[in-house]
Structure 1
Amino acid sequence: MSEKSKDELIEAQKQIIGILFEVIKRLQANNDLDDEYFQIISSEDKSKKERLEKILIEREENAKIVGRLLEQLEI
């Protein structure tokens, strides 16, 4: 294997690792948001409706980013 091919392979591996790291980070963020969401839902404090809406928006954004990142891996 030529030196150039080895360098290209290493670069591709770095990119894949970076993408997978970002996917894991976003999925973990959604898990954390789920925890907070369910804590708010189960509480008696119904005044936190605005925070619930923000959580749902952030979760959706994270899911879209994860989808785009996974599409990059398909290429």
Structure 2
Amino acid sequence: MSESEKDELIEAQKQIIGILFEVIKRLQANSDLDEEYFELITKEKKDQSRLDEILKERQENAKIVGRLLEQLET
């Protein structure tokens, strides 16, 4: 394997690690948002605007995770 090929392989590995790190970060964020969402829902006085924000953030995180996983397929 040439030096150039080794460098390309290392760069590809770095990109994969970066993508996987971002996927994990987004999934963890969604998990944290889930906790907050359920805490808010169980309260008698619900903060509807925050509930809407949480749902929007979760959807955005899910879209980003989907796009990142698509990158890994190529």
Q: What's the TM-score once normalised by structure 2's chain length?
A: 0.98
Query: What residue in structure 1 maps to residue 39 of structure 2?
Result: 39
Percent identical among aligned pairs is: 77
RMSD (CA atoms): 0.5
User: In 2, distance between residues paired with 1:42 and 1:13?
Assistant: 44
Q: Which runs of 5+ in 2 are unaligned?
A: none
User: In 1, distance between residues paired with 2:48 and 2:11?
Assistant: 45
The code of the aligned residue for 1:34 comes to: D
User: In 1, distance between residues paired with 2:32 and 2:43?
Assistant: 17
Query: What residue in structure 2 maps to residue 24 of structure 1?
Result: 24
Q: Which runs of 5+ in 1 are unaligned?
A: none
Matched residue pairs, number?
74
| Off by >4 Å, runs of 4+ in structure 1 | none
User: Shift of residue 32 of structure 1?
Assistant: 0.3
User: In 1, distance between residues paired with 2:36 and 2:3?
Assistant: 50
User: Shift of residue 49 of structure 1?
Assistant: 0.4
Q: What's the TM-score once normalised by structure 1's chain length?
A: 0.97
Per-residue deviation, residues 12-64 of structure 1 (Å, max 9, x unmatched)? 00000000000000000000000000000011122x00000000000000000
The code of the aligned residue for 2:22 comes to: E
Secondary structure of 2:44 counterpart:
coil
User: In 2, distance between residues paired with 1:45 and 1:32?
Assistant: 21
